[in-house]
Chain A
Amino acid sequence: MTMDLQIILPVLFPLVGVLVNSFFGRRLGERGSGVFASLMVALSFGASVLLLRQLSAQPHTEGAHGLASQLFPWIQVGTLSVPFGFQVDQLSILLMLIITGVGLLIHIYATGYMHNDERFPRFFVFLNLFISSMLVLVMGDSFLMMFVGWELVGLCSYLLIGFWFSEIKNSEAGRKAFVVNRIGDVAFVLGILLIFTTFGSLSYTEVFKAVEERGAEVAAAVGTITLLLFIGATGKSAQLPLMVWLPDAMAGPTPVSALIHAATMVTAGIYMMARSHVMFELAPTTQTVVGVVGGLTALVAGVIALTQWDIKKVLAYSTVSQLGFMVAACGVGAYTAAVFHLLTHAFFKALLFLGSGSVIHGIEHNPKTATHATGGHGGGHHQGIDPQDMRNMGGLKSRMKITFITYLIGGLALAGVPPLAGFWSKDEILVSASQSNSLVFWLLAVTAVLTAFYTMRQIRLVFFGEPRSREAWHTIESGPQMTIPLVILAVFSVVGGVVINWPFEAILPAHALSHWLEPVLGKLEVAHFDFGMAGIFSLLAIVAMAAAYFMYKRSYNETVKQEPLEKLGPLYALSSNKFYLDDIYRVLVVIPFHGFATVFAQVIDKNGIDAVVNGIGGAVRNASLVLREIQTGFVRSYGLVMLLGVAVLVAWFVFTR
């Protein structure tokens, strides 16, 4: 097996899944197509592991480029030459393992979750396509390849958010995600173009080498480039001010939320910034902007998450908030910490989403109250309660034991309780922030406490107390296809942080991740573990969780139904109305845009442009009808026309010689 083939194998396997399921999906049947899609992702995961082994065998020095494969020259126009090339280095292999590993678990989970859905094979086509696209994004060896992946995952996200498109709410959410992402993408494209005009190349190696060599000379351009790239990241990674699409994206099936909108796609922005850290480090202004935007996003989303009632919305805002953490980490130059948090977050947030999916599935599909034996999710067409509203839950602790325990583990990891995965990565970010930017540090610190609070609020509302609806009462545990992935992810959420980046020089190798990433991210200063800070934040997290538990035990249960936070007055209104972000957008963007569009469509287009275009079109059509008359069908007239042509042509040639 040649190297080239081996490198693209992870991308090819899911593509095979796409092809097979799009053409033979129906014939394979539900079981067949689900198993086949999962198998392809499993093979892709296996191929990634093999690549990891090969990569480990390589010399581990800074500036090594890992494994690269340029398949063929893809675009060659003028001086622009982009090969269709892939590279696997220490950074991308981590992402690949997450994408295919977590992806595999979610595929397996989805075979249970999507059971009896009418368009079951189609779902797996999209899911496999997403895996391929995401791999292209992280494995590409140039900004253009990254952009290709970037757009492809955007497409998959759109298709999957609106998967149950028969409901207008879902297709609108898909559209919103698509449009908002386009805004970021425009900036991203501009950034890529600027990279090309500045450095004359789009390949990572060449661009970063040029940046390092030319340094201050290109600092101004790099400042603009990084800002544009960052705007792209705010779209994909749902940062302020483009974060509004992600909560709506929860309209998609829950496995999609777990895979795309928590674990992988939304972290593309963080991957991009880590990948081009050479440029970001050269632009202090951008760094500050990135840090502050990340911190603000974390805080705002954290505040909003406090008051949501929809189980998935809470997780969605929590995701935005955690992405803010990672972005802020990039902003303070702690790229290792950002990647670390990306990895742990992928574990526990995927776990939480799948857990919430299990809960929703349980409430919707339990044998006693299910109003529709067949058919999928999506609410709407059945008469029952809203299966995602936490007010209708409660008491699921004893009814869904595995889901409860794994969900609790995920929640504790998210809240930052030691020694679970989230604790280590969050701590590293906080330490780095405290050393470089106090504003960012305080934003994140407050958010960390809020995180613990809303996490416990959710767990309390869903699992503790007594059931608050008939559906919740009859809920039973989901099947093994769904619980096994939960257990596996829970294990990772427990040990992930310790194994990946253990900060001490004892028992396990210290700072494994930081050292592993050195060839890509450079020798960054290792954030030292600060016992004082870790202690304070662990304590704060536990206190906040306890507070949440008891507050909701008392004021929101089967008998008393009052949201305790309402007492906060205007702050509560701000939070529950999502900082009025959607309304601000409506007033500032949507309504004026509608107005403009109406004016353009009704006045300028209809009476102006259409008139001109139709006029020209009509003229051409008339000319066409006239010219058509020449075609009489008589050979003699054809010959005559030809002869005239000959005469003119010969005369021209002879007289202009």
Chain B
Amino acid sequence: MPWKTVCVLKLIHTVMDLYLPIFVILAIASGLAGLIVVISIVFGPRKRAQVKAKLQPYESGMNAIGQGQRRFPVRFYLIAVLFILFDVEVIFFYPWAVAFRQLGLYGLIQMLVFVGILFAGYIWVWKKGALDWETMDK
């Protein structure tokens, strides 16, 4: 083989080595998404008669009132913020879990401290009634 071809192949090999998992995930993810769309188009029931009621968000007879961009009660945002807070914190567990053996006991203690802080926040949020939908406005 000419040396240029060898080089290119080697490069491809390296890149593939590094990024193959990503490509695989990419392929599976987009393939799955596409597949679902295709399946729903193929197997979904088709209603030719486009009556107005069919275009409503709720077909069950409830009429939509007003515009879509309404002001939401702040409690939605509060819940959202709290969710993101705890959700993002949980992500920190992954790297720890991966390096669990190397970090050893010290790592465990550190993680416990971290969880402890999180837990303290959780208790505070709970006690303050931020998770209680009915009394949240107070």
The answer on direct contact between A and B (beta carbons under 8 Å) is no
A interface list, Cβ under 8 A from B: none
